C-alpha cells in the first residue's frame, strides 16, 4: 500500500502529484509518510504579556484590541493596534493591507494573537500576527503543536501550502496507519524504551507535546540507523562468506629479512596492531576488505610495504594505485628505495609512461616476473593484466569511484585482497555509516621523534614579520612552501594570484642569495617534475605552488608551510598541506595567512588548525561544518540520504544502533528466530536479502 502513487490520495490528484514529485520528490504514499516536519509551532501555551521574553520562537497571547491608529512612514503607513491583557499592553503591527484590517478588527473583543515578538524600547511588538477571535478559536479542535513541512516557493504559489501538506499527511495516516507493521522486536524496544511504530509516526507529524515528539523522533531515528547498520554489517559478513580470498599462510624470508635488516625505524605500537589485523585477514580464507586510516606522516607506507611482502612471500603479485601521478611517483621512489636491499623489482605505470617503456611492463606483469606495480588510473586499463594479483592497495581511496575500484578486483579470476588507505581521517560516525561494510584500522600515533607542527594564523598586515621569519629559517638551511588556492571555476584569477605572489616573493627574496621554484597545473609534466626535483635536491629554498603539492612531495628539510588566502581552503585541505612539513627532526611551522574579515565558518576552520594537529578531531569539526554530503562529495553522499536521522547530531544514537545491530547478528546471523521475522522482512523489503541471504552489492 505504501508504494501507491500519491495521485490516488484524497486531496492530491494528478496536478498536485506532479508538483509534489518535481519539487519535493514525493511520488508515493511512503514518500509523503516519511516527509517529516522540520519544525513546529508550539500552540500548547498562552502567554501573558508580562511573561514575554526575547526569543525567535512564536508565542500566542489572549487579549483585547483597545485602540487602532495609522502612522505615516517613509513609504506608505503602518497600522498599530494596542493589545491589552490583565498584565500589560503590547502592539500589533501591519505594514500591508491596513484598510482591510481596520474595517474588520473589533475593539473590545477577546482575540488570540500568534506570532514572533520584538521589543522596541519598553514596548513589545508583534508584526502581522495570526489573529483569531477567542470564541472561534475555542470552537475548533486545536493542534497543540502545528507541523511546518519542508516546502518550496513554487508549491506555495500553486496552492500547495503548509496547511494542504498537513491535511494530506493526516488523510494518509487515516488510510494506512492500521496496516503499518511493527519493525523493531519487542525486546529491543523494551530495552531502549522506544515507542511503537504507529505511535511514532503519528507523534512525529502531529505531536501532543514536546516530550511525545522527542520520543517519536528517537524511535524513528534509531530504526533508520539500525537498519543501515544491519545492512552494512550483513554485507561485510556476506562478502567474507561468499568471496573467498587467497590464503597467505606463511610469513616468509622477504618479510622477515626486511623486518629484521632493512626496516628504517622501529614500528609504533599502532603500526604493529594494524599489521596483526591485516595478517589475520590474509590468513582467514576470506577476501580482505580493510580501510587503513592514518594521519599524514603516521607511517601507512611502511605498513603497505610489509603487506606487499606478505603477498610476495606467498607467491602473489601486488599493486598500489594512487590518484595522481605525483603521489604515484612518490610511492614508487619510496617503495623502490625500501626494497632495494632485497633486490625486488618495482615498476611505475602512469599516463605519461611512453608506449615503448609500457610494453615490457605489461609483458612482465602478465608472465609474473614483475612482482610489484605502482601506478595511477593507468593500472585500471583493460590491457593491464596480472598473472596472479593477490593484493591491491588503493591510496587516498575517496578519489576513486566504485566502478574504478571494481576494475582492480577483476584483474584476476579470483578477487585480490583489498587494502584502501587514506591520510584524510574519516570521522567515526561517517565511517560507520559510509564504510560500515569495511573493516577499519587506525594508525593513531606518530613515529617517535616527530615534533608536532606549530600552526599560527596571521593576516595580510603581518606579512613583513612573516618574511623576516622565513629568512631566519632559510639561514638555518631550511626550506619553505608557499601555497596559493586553486579553484577551477576561477582558474585565470588563481593563476594571476599565484604569479603575483611569485613576483612579490622574488622581490623579497632576490637571486642569487635565494632561489625559488614555481609549480602549477598549467605546466607540462616534465617542467613540473624539474622544478619539484630542484626543491627536493635543495637547489631552491622556496617553492611557490598551487595545491598540486597537497599530496606527493616529501622533503624532510622543508620546515615552513605558508598557506595564502587560508580562508578559501577547507579543513581537510589545510590539514593535508600542513602534512607536507614536519617530516624531519627539526621543529616545523605552518602559517595561515588570511584577509582581515572572516566568516564564522572560516574563523572556526583556522582556529581548529591552530589548536590541534589531530586529524580525527579536525575531521569531526569538518563534518559539523560541512555535513556528510559535502564532505564525501556527490558521488558518495547519496548513501547518507537519511530521512530523519542526522549522523552529526545523532552520533550517540548511531553508536547505539551499531552496537545492537552487531548484537543481533552475532546471536542470529541468519535472522531465523521467530522474534526476528519482522527484521528479516524489513531487510528484504529494503532489497538487502535475496537468494539465501546473499547481499546484493
pLDDT of residue 177: 93
Per-residue pLDDT at 143 exceeds 70:
no
**Tens digits of per-residue pLDDT, 386-436?**
999 999 999 875 555 556 666 776 776 678 998 988 877 776 666 666 665
**Tens digits of per-residue pLDDT, 244-262?**
788 898 889 999 999 998 8
pLDDT of residue 691: 34
What's the whole-number mean pLDDT along residues 253-279? 91
Distances in Å between the Cα of 488 and the Cα atoms of 190, 416, 483, 629 are: 54, 36, 16, 20
pLDDT of residue 96: 82
pLDDT of residue 639: 45
Give the mean pLDDT of the chain: 85
- Percent share of the chain, pLDDT over 90: 44
Distance CA(429)–CA(185), nearest Å, equals: 25
Phi, psi of 276 (to 5 degrees): -65, -40
**Tens digits of per-residue pLDDT, 195-204?**
999 999 999 9
What's the whole-number mean pLDDT along residues 358-387? 92
Q: What does 383-421 look like in DSSP terms, one character per residue?
A: T---SSEEEEEEESGGGS-HHHHHHHHTTSSSPPEEEEE
pLDDT of residue 523: 81
Q: Would you give the distance in Å from CA 19 to the centre of its chain?
A: 31
Contacts for 663 with CB less than 8 Å, ≥ 6 apart = none
Distance CA(150)–CA(20), nearest Å, equals: 12
**Tens digits of per-residue pLDDT, 297-315?**
788 899 999 999 999 999 9
Sign, CA torsion 171/172/178/183: negative
In 3-state terms, what secondary structure has residue 413? coil
pLDDT of residue 372: 96
Name the DSSP class of 17: H
pLDDT of residue 98: 85
CATH 2.40.50.140 fits 47-142, yes or no: yes
Per-residue pLDDT at 582 exceeds 50:
yes
pLDDT of residue 366: 92
**Which of 152, 167, 166, 168 lies closest to 29, judged by CA?**
168
Question: Which one is the CATH code of 454-612: 3.40.50.300, 1.20.1290.10, 1.20.140.10, 1.10.3720.10?
Answer: 3.40.50.300
**Tens digits of per-residue pLDDT, 461-486?**
898 999 999 999 999 999 999 998 86
pTM above 0.75, yes or no: no
Per-residue pLDDT at 383 exceeds 70:
yes
Per-residue pLDDT at 354 exceeds 80:
yes
In 3-state terms, what secondary structure has residue 343? coil
The CATH code that applies to domain 253-282+299-422 is: 3.40.50.300
Per-residue pLDDT at 688 exceeds 70:
no
Distance CA(153)–CA(171), nearest Å, equals: 23
Amino acid at each position: 500500500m505504501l508504494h501507491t502513487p500519491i495521485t490516488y490520495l484524497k486531496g492530491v490528484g494528478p496536478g498536485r502529484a506532479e508538483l509534489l514529485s518535481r519539487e519535493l520528490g514525493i511520488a508515493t504514499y511512503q514518500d509523503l509518510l516519511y516527509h517529516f516536519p522540520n519544525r513546529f509551532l508550539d500552540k500548547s501555551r498562552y502567554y501573558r504579556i508580562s511573561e514575554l521574553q526575547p526569543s525567535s520562537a512564536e508565542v500566542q497571547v489572549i487579549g483585547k484590541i483597545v485602540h487602532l491608529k495609522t502612522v505615516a512612514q517613509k513609504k506608505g503607513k503602518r497600522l498599530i493596534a494596542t493589545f491589552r491583557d490583565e498584565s500589560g499592553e503590547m502592539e500589533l503591527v501591519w505594514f500591508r493591507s491596513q484598510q482591510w484590517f481596520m474595517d474588520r478588527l473589533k475593539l473590545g473583543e477577546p482575540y488570540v494573537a500568534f506570532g514572533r515578538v520584538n521589543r522596541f524600547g519598553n514596548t513589545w511588538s508583534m508584526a502581522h500576527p495570526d489573529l483569531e477571535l477567542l470564541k472561534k478559536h475555542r470552537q475548533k479542535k486545536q493542534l497543540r503543536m502545528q507541523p511546518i513541512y519542508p516546502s518550496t516557493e513554487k508549491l506555495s504559489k500553486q496552492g500547495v501550502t503548509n496547511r494542504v501538506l498537513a491535511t494530506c499527511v493526516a488523510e494518509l495516516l487515516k488510510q494506512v496507519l492500521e496496516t503499518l507493521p511493527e519493525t523493531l522486536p519487542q525486546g529491543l524496544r523494551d530495552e531502549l524504551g522506544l515507542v511503537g511504530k504507529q505511535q511514532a509516526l503519528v507523534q512525529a507529524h502531529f505531536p501532543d507535546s514536546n516530550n511525545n515528539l522527542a520520543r517519536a523522533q528517537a524511535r524513528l531515528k534509531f530504526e533508520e540507523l539500525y537498519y543501515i547498520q544491519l545492512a552494512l554489517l550483513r554485507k561485510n559478513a556476506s562478502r567474507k562468506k561468499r568471496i573467498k580470498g587467497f590464503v597467505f599462510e606463511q610469513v616468509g624470508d622477504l618479510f622477515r629479512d626486511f623486518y629484521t635488516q632493512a626496516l628504517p625505524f622501529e614500528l609504533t605500537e599502532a603500526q604493529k596492531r594494524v599489521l596483526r589485523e591485516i595478517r589475520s585477514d590474509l590468513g582467514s580464507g576470506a577476501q580482505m576488505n580493510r580501510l587503513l586510516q592514518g594521519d599524514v606522516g603516521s607511517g601507512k607506507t611502511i605498513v603497505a610495504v610489509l603487506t606487499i611482502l606478505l603477498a610476495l612471500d606467498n607467491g602473489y603479485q601486488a599493486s598500489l594505485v594512487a590518484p595522481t601521478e605525483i603521489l604515484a611517483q612518490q610511492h614508487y621512489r619510496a617503495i623502490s628505495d625500501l626494497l632495494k636491499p632485497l633486490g625486488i623489482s618495482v615498476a611505475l605505470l602512469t599516463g605519461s609512461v611512453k608506449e615503448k617503456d609500457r610494453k615490457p611492463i605489461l609483458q612482465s606483469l602478465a608472465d609474473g616476473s614483475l612482482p610489484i606495480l605502482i601506478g595511477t588510473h593507468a593500472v585500471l586499463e583493460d590491457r593491464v593484466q596480472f598473472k596472479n594479483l593477490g593484493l591491491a592497495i588503493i591510496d587516498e581511496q575517496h578519489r576513486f569511484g566504485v566502478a574504478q575500484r571494481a576494475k582492480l578486483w577483476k584483474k584476476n579470476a579470483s578477487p585480490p585482497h583489498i587494502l584502501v588507505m587514506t591520510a584524510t581521517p574519516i570521522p567515526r560516525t561517517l565511517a560507520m555509516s559510509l564504510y560500515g561494510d569495511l573493516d577499519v584500522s587506525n594508525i593513531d600515533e606518530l613515529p617517535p621523534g616527530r615534533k608536532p607542527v606549530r600552526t599560527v594564523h596571521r593576516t595580510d598586515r603581518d606579512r613583513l614579520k612573516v618574511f623576516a621569519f622565513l629568512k631566519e629559517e632559510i639561514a638555518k638551511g631550511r626550506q619553505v612552501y608557499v601555497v596559493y588556492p586553486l579553484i577551477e571555476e576561477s582558474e585565470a584569477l588563481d593563476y594571476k594570484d599565484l604569479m603575483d605572489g611569485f613576483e612579490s616573493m622574488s622581490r623579497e627574496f632576490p637571486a642569487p642569495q635565494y632561489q625559488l621554484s614555481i609549480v602549477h597545473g598549467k605546466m607540462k609534466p616534465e617542467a613540473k617534475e624539474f622544478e619539484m626535483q630542484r626543491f627536493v635536491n635543495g637547489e631552491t629554498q622556496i617553492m611557490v605552488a598551487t595545491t598540486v603539492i597537497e599530496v606527493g612531495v616529501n622533503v624532510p628539510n622543508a620546515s615552513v608551510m605558508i598557506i595564502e588566502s587560508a580562508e578559501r581552503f577547507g579543513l581537510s585541505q589545510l590539514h593535508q598541506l600542513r602534512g607536507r612539513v614536519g617530516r624531519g627532526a627539526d621543529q616545523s611551522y605552518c602559517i595561515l595567512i588570511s584577509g582581515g574579515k572572516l566568516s564564522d565558518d572560516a574563523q572556526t576552520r583556522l582556529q581548529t588548525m591552530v589548536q590541534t594537529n589531530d586529524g580525527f578531531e579536525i575531521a569531526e569539526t569538518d563534518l559539523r561544518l560541512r555535513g556528510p554530503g559535502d564532505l564525501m562529495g556527490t558521488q558518495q553522499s547519496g548513501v547518507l540520504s537519511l530521512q530523519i536521522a542526522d549522523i552529526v547530531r545523532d552520533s550517540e544514537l548511531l553508536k547505539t544502533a551499531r552496537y545492537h545491530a552487531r548484537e543481533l547478528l552475532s546471536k542470529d546471523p541468519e535472522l531465523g528466530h521467530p522474534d526476528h521475522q519482522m527484521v528479516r522482512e524489513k531487510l528484504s523489503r529494503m532489497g538487502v536479502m535475496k537468494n539465501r541471504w546473499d547481499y546484493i552489492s
